[in-house]
Structure 1
């Protein structure tokens, strides 16, 4: 059995107004993963104390970064409920913040923060799945607070992905903005653990208009398109993470993730087993691609608006 480690409150809730250098930003990326995947959070299973503690940490980071709260909520939390396979009602909470862009059209950038908790007295910390996605989301949020995007960006840390994509489904059922204004979902789920430097970008099979933007100029990372053809069966990832809820509404998506590894859904999915260099490169590539998608989709909308006027 793992011993529960105590992280000082000052570390969990620390805030700084000092502008971070690139090195500091990379350090923060790894720090966020390490903290969220520590034993303190008890595997972050939806409806548990560990999940509540994880929310408090993510909210503290949202505040530190300076994310705005959506007008329809009093804070960052979006509560929802669902019944598990035993018929028990479970309370979940998504965390939502936004950066206003030049357009009211929206891109939702998402990552789920929950994991599978404690099983047989072992803590399943979910460092790659999906503390990594949340850390990358926080990195992107910090960037776009300093670099105004074209679209308005909603940053969504979804709950209850492991329980059947419940948080994302609740979001699209009761969206905080008009659903037709959401032009894209960029979802990150498992982006820190790959020994070959390969990051998959899923979604261009159904939405080929996104393909020209999905590449990285960096030689440090391999962006591979795929895992999105229905003919692939279980290797089709279209319905295997939170982007599925957006796809069901015909909202285009790009899902970034790695192929399953030896630590997937095991107690060994810990911070010490991620690939820090790969993760840093992957998060930089996701940022690069998100900026390109933001720009290209905005230009397309401007062109279409001019055509309608003429």
Structure 2
């Protein structure tokens, strides 16, 4: 009952345009399920990863995403030392009025099981990155009910923790020509912040995107901050630190959403109980509003004057 009352109050606090866009109960269920101990940390090439895939395949089907080549599954291989590992990306799409594409992405893999002899051995990865996948599924659900202008590809990447392997596989063998992709929206760690701050990275490289970010930030219930994308900021430049980096290498415009590192980052303590439920819900809602804005207002032609690597 407390959760229902809390959800109702949160609902009332949102702008009218944002209400009813995201199912908060389903959002939390997705994160809770993917970060459960039984998923064994979702490390690429493991049983836990395959269990996460089964869950996501079922969600894709229930949402009603279309599949390229009659499958959502796209396996790829990479080397880790002398070991050859198979990863699996999952792609579904919603056709739009335009054949031009916006790719909405998040990685579902994490770090697996700790080799230390401890009471807790599972790297659950609730924020990193069950949260991003939860956001992806929420957006797929919304746009299935509200047909988009752009064709939207929903890409659940594997192997991000192994060096962006899933994103590399996507750009190497994309389901549509790369020239058809107008924009990437990537989500990685969007559920854990005590300052109500959500960063959006990409407006430094693609300044034409700043006006869309500013429009949403003006009414957002989270502090949407453009930053962490200046190459002069060293390790604080997030441009290539998640899957959006591979799109940037192909000169595809991107916006990456994430929070700054917190004490649970890449630790066993990154569990469902540690995420900020209200912040997470508002983060997903904010990102969705920005995607809706881009879908309706973004010109189909590529940007001019983009700053490259």
Q: TM-score, normalization: structure 1?
A: 0.87
3-state secondary structure, aligned to 2:246: helix
Quote how far apart the aligned CAs of 1:23 are.
9.2
Q: Which residue of 2 aligns with 1:6?
A: none
Q: Is the 8 A contact 2:221 2:286 kept in 1?
A: no
1:74 and 2:70 aligned: yes
3-state secondary structure, aligned to 1:117: coil
Counterparts in 2 of 1:76-225, with a 5 A limit? 76-84=72-80, 86-121=81-116, 122-214=121-213, 215-225=216-226
Q: Which residue of 1 aligns with 2:26?
A: 28
1:65 and 2:66 aligned: no
Distance 1:138 1:235, change over 3 A: same
Counterparts in 2 of 1:244-263, with a 5 A limit? 244-263=245-264
Quote how far apart the aligned CAs of 1:216 are.
3.2
Counterparts in 2 of 1:274-285, with a 5 A limit? 274-285=275-286
How far, CA to CA, are the matches of 2:20 and 2:205 in structure 1? 35
Alpha-carbon RMSD across the aligned residues, in angstroms, is 1.6
3-state secondary structure, aligned to 2:162: coil
Distance 1:35 1:229, change over 3 A: same
How far, CA to CA, are the matches of 2:21 and 2:283 in structure 1? 15
Q: Is the 8 A contact 1:216 1:288 kept in 2?
A: no
Q: Which residue of 1 aligns with 2:8?
A: none
How far, CA to CA, are the matches of 1:27 and 1:263 in structure 2? 24
How far, CA to CA, are the matches of 1:141 and 1:258 in structure 2? 22
Which runs of at least 4 in structure 1 moved beyond 6 Å after TM superposition? none
Equivalenced residues, count? 279
Distance 1:83 1:204, change over 3 A: same
